[in-house]
Amino acid sequence: MLDTGPSLVFAGLGAFHGLNPAMGWLFAVALGLHRRSRATVMISLLPIALGHAASIAAVAALLVAAGTTLPQGLVRVGSGLLLLGWAGYHWRFGHRHRVRFGMQVGLWGLALWSFLMATAHGAGLMLWPALMPSCFPAGVDPGLAGPGAAALAAVGIHTLAMVATTAVVAGLVYEWLGIAVLRQAWLNVDVLWVVALGATGGLLLFSAL
């Protein structure tokens, strides 16, 4: 259904999202510390994964819909421009527009938070370039079943890698490292994400020429 290359891309992006504190592990650890419960940290991963997967699936469905109705070249150009625009937005305004929920949020609220965070970061958009070869093979008129199944597989691989990484990081921080690690040694993941969005958008535009 999916080649090894795209599958590794989906898993790699999932792992990258799992490392990003804004995607869930920091919220899970903070909620566990607030309730003084190790189990809360692990249970929180389920709604975080559900919300993230829902956001990724919705954005992947948009690509499938666009690919079945629009020329592939137009989809590539539009996707590239959208990624560049998203990168510019995050560079200029991303730090001002944060999705804020309190520590008393329930599991459904946490799922909603995860969905909004993944959507606001453009997490699903980054899967588009890797999804295109599987959803829209050259010279083939894709039916709904083919691209839909490929998109679903991509969402599953991405989400599994994301939640596995989130679980490892959340467990390490909760049990041994503590929240103070963010002040002592932490890479600015948001900057890396902006660069990745912009670079991917540029590559898509170049490939459409």
- What would the pLDDT profile of 51-81 be if each residue is shown by its tens digit? 999 999 998 998 888 877 888 888 888 888 8
20 with 193: CB under 8 angstroms?
yes
Q: Which residue do the tokens 């899970």 mark?
A: 28
Alpha-carbon distance of 51 to 53, in angstroms, equals: 5
Quick one: pLDDT at residue 130? 83
- Mean pLDDT of the chain, nearest integer: 80
For the stretch 163-172, pLDDT in tens is 999 999 998 8
Tokens of 49: 């994964």
Q: Where are the domains of the chain?
A: 4-208
- The alpha carbon of residue 190 and the mean position of all alpha carbons in its chain are separated, in whole angstroms, by 13
Q: Which residue do the tokens 């909760």 mark?
A: 174
H helices, E strands: number in the chain = 9, 0
For the stretch 116-150, pLDDT in tens is 888 888 888 888 888 887 766 554 444 445 677 88
For the stretch 28-50, pLDDT in tens is 888 888 888 889 899 999 999 99
Q: Mean per-residue pLDDT for 162-185?
A: 78
Tokens of 137: 């093979």
87 with 163: CB under 8 angstroms?
no
Quick one: pLDDT at residue 152? 87
Q: Mean per-residue pLDDT for 99-105?
A: 57
Q: Which residue do the tokens 């991963």 mark?
A: 45
Q: Using alpha carbons only, what angle is made at residue 45 by residues 43 and 47, rounded to the nearest 5 degrees?
A: 90
45 with 167: CB under 8 angstroms?
yes
43 with 71: CB under 8 angstroms?
no
Which string of b and e fits 75-112 if b means at least 16 CB within 10 Å? bbbbbbebbbebbeebeeebeeeeeeeeeebeeeebbb
Tokens of 6: 């795209």
Alpha-carbon distance of 140 to 129, in angstroms, equals: 18
Quick one: pLDDT at residue 102? 55
Say if residue 178's pLDDT is above 80. no
Please give the model's pTM, rounded to 2 decimal places.
0.81
Q: Mean per-residue pLDDT for 176-204?
A: 72
Quick one: pLDDT at residue 48? 93
